Amino acid sequence: MDFGGESVLSSDLWNKAQAVFAGGVNSPVRAAVKPFPFYTRSAKGAYLVTEDSRRLIDFVLGYGPLILGHAHPKVIEAVKDQLERGWLYGTPSRAEVELASMITKHVPSAQKVRFVNSGTEATMTALRLSRGFTGRSKILKFDGNYHGAHDYVLIDAGSAASEFGVPFSQGIPTEVSSTVLVCPYNDLTCVETVLKREEIAGVIVEPVMGNMGVIPPEKDFLPGLRKLTREYGSVLIFDEVITGFRLGLGGAQSYFGVTPDLTTLGKIIGGGFPIGAVCGRKEIMDQLTPSGRVFNAGTFNANPISMTAGIATIQELEKKEVYTVSERAARVLAEEIDRAIKMDHVVNRVYNFFQFFLGVKDVRNANDARKAKRDLYVKVHESLLKEGVFIPPSQFEALFTSGAHDDDVVNESARVFKKVLEDLT
C-alpha cells in the first residue's frame, strides 16, 4: 500500500503498520491507544494535529522532552542553522562543549559529561561505570522504576513494561538478572538490609517515580539513600531522564537538595531530538574510555543536531518563564481533577508533571499504583480523547505541561476534565 502524498486516515496507516512493525508500533505504549493509535500529521505549541484532521491538546509532549511545547521557534531556528552547516561530522564540535558546559553549570553532580543517544544508553553506561569504579557486580533498583530497555533494568520495570505485563522481559539471561536486586520505592529499611548483605556497585533510582504514574519521594527517602550509599561504598545514580531540567535547571537533585554520584539525563536536554547523557563526579567519569577502562563509544554520540537543539532549549529555560507557566498549568489542572473526581482517588503532582489514580487512597510505591482502577483510567483517557484532550493511554505514565500550556489551554482542558471525570467517576 503506497499512500504517496495523498490524504490518509489513521485507520489506513494502522492497517499498514501492523504488516510492517511488530505489534504495529515502534514503542509499545503507542499501541495502548484504542481501538488503534491516531497518527500525528503536525504539532505546534500545546497541540497535535492528527492525520484525521483533529486538533488535540497534548499532555504527553513526547513523554516529557518538549517542555517548551511543540516546534518552538528558537529550536527550529537553531536546528535549521545547524543543518546548513552539516549534521554529522565524526569529529568533536563546538556545540557539544557548549551544551556540556550548560549541564555542568546547572546540575550539581555534573563535574564531567558523556553524551550518548538515549536514556537507555545513559543508564546502561552509568551502571557499567558503577561496576567498573567499585569493582563490584551487583545493582540495586526499585520496583516500578523504569530505566530504559536494557537487560540490567528490565526487572520489576515500570512504564510500558508494566502496562503490557512484562516487568520481567524474556530474553534476559539468569546470569544477568541474578546480579540485580530490587526494593520497594520509598523503603529505606529494605535498602539498608540489601546494602548490609550484598556488595552493591550502584543504586539506581528515579528521584521522582515517573514511570508508574507519578510518585514523589517521601521526605527522608533521597537523603537516606545518599547516607546509606556513602556508608556502604555504593555509587548513587539518579535517573533524571524525566526530571532533569524539568523540575528546574538543576533537576530533582536541586529540587530536593540531594546530590548523587552519577546522573543520567535525556529527553529535555536534546530539545526533542534523540539524546542521553551520563554526568557525575570526575573520578568516576574519568573511568570512561579513552581516559579509563570502562568502554563507551557511539557514531552518533554528541551529534550536532541534538546538541544544538539542547542548547536552544536550555537557553529558553534559563529565562525561567517556561517553568512559571508549566508549573501553574500542572497545579491548576491537578487541583481541578482532584475536585472533579467523586470516588476514592489520589492526584500526585511534582512541580510540572502529575498523574491521577482512581479507586485508591494512597500511592507511595509501585504496588499501590497497581491497585488503582486501570480499566476506569482507560475509559477516562478514551473520553478525554473524544473531547480533544490527549493524556497518556497508560496509567503508568505521567501528564506533562509546558511553556505552551497557557491560560487558554488550561481553561479549555479544565472544562473537559471536569465534564469527563464527573461523568465517569
Side-chain half-sphere exposure of 146, counting CA atoms within 13 A: 25
> How big is the chain by its Cα radius of gyration, in Å?
21
Residue corresponding to grid cell 537533585 = 253
The contacts of residue 6 (CB under 8 Å, 6+ apart) are: none
Active site residue 146: yes
Cβ distance 337 to 292 under 8 Å? Answer: no
Mark residue 233 as left, alpha or beta (left: phi above 0; alpha: psi -120 to 50; beta: remaining). left
Active site residue 89: no
C-alpha–C-alpha distance, residues 321 and 416, integer Å = 26
Cis omega before residue 223 (within 30°)? no
Of 58, 143, 156, 239, the catalytic one is 239
Minimal CA–CA distance to 167: which of 392, 396, 419? 396
Active site residue 351: no
Cis omega before residue 290 (within 30°)? yes
Of 267, 323, 368, 377, the catalytic one is 267
Minimal CA–CA distance to 347: which of 355, 304, 339? 355
Cell numbers placing 4: 504517496
Q: Which residues pair with 139 in a beta bridge?
A: 180, 202
Of 47, 63, 146, 351, the catalytic one is 146
C-alpha–C-alpha distance, residues 250 and 254, integer Å = 5
Residues serving a catalytic function are: 146, 239, 267
